[in-house]
Homo-oligomer: A and B are copies of this chain.
């Protein structure tokens, strides 16, 4: 691995990652190869290999550079917090970079252990945060759940992904509000 304290090395790493994100956005994860990235970043292929000896490490770092909201840090009352998180997520899902990463997470072939690990980690994070928030809302009486709360990520995030990425239409506040009512009765 290259020396991470040398500013020239840091600059070169950032330039390569920026080129890799462009390729991810334009053509998807299969396009993020050492050869393509070197060409796009106008550096030698050896330079890319010096930073990322394994192709998967390059793709991992490229995807990690795309910020995705994960329903972090739930705060009570839960309903307005959740509505804000869903709005942020819906807005981010209109960005080509975020769409490319989401599509890559959805595809991840079964014979790619890294892709599977990435997807599982994302889902565990979302489900964990959302579960904690909804359980606390149920405990304090803010929410009387009518849905299985283990289904909550699919019920409220699935429609946002479908609307933003397949229908390519805006997620309205009314839709977010309706989705929250599908979980149960809110106080």
A102, A157, A158, A175, most chain B CB atoms within 10 A = A158
Give 1 or 0 for each of A148-170: 1 = CB within 8 Å of chain B CB: 10010111011111110111100
Residues of B within 8 A of A87 (CB): none
Q: Is A7 an interface residue (CB 8 A)?
A: no
Whether a CB of chain B sits under 8 angstroms from the CB of A144 is no
A1 at the interface (CB under 8 A from B): no
B107 near A99 with CB under 8 A, answer yes
Whether A174 contacts B159 by the Cβ 8 Å rule is: no
The answer to whether B158 and A106 touch across the interface, beta carbons within 8 angstroms, is no
Copies of this chain assembled into the complex = 2
A112: min CB distance to chain B, Å: 9
A155 cross-chain contacts in B, Cβ below 8 A: 159, 178-179, 182
| A64 interface residue per 8 A CB criterion | no
Main secondary structure of the interface of A (DSSP, over half): helix
Q: Which of A11-19, A25-33, A43-51 contacts B (4 or more CB under 8 A)?
A: A25-33
Q: Are B175 and A154 in contact (CB under 8 A)?
A: yes
Contact A163 B154 (CB under 8 A): yes
Identify the closest chain B residue to A152 (Cβ).
B159
Whether B107 contacts A28 by the Cβ 8 Å rule is yes
Contacts of A148 in B (CB 8 A): 174-175, 178
Q: Looking at the complex, which one of B26, B103, B162, B178 makes contact with A158 (CB distance below 8 Å)?
A: B162
The 12 listed contacts between A and B (C-beta, < 8 Å) are A26-B111, A28-B28, A28-B30, A28-B104, A96-B109, A96-B110, A105-B166, A106-B161, A151-B163, A151-B175, A158-B162, A178-B182
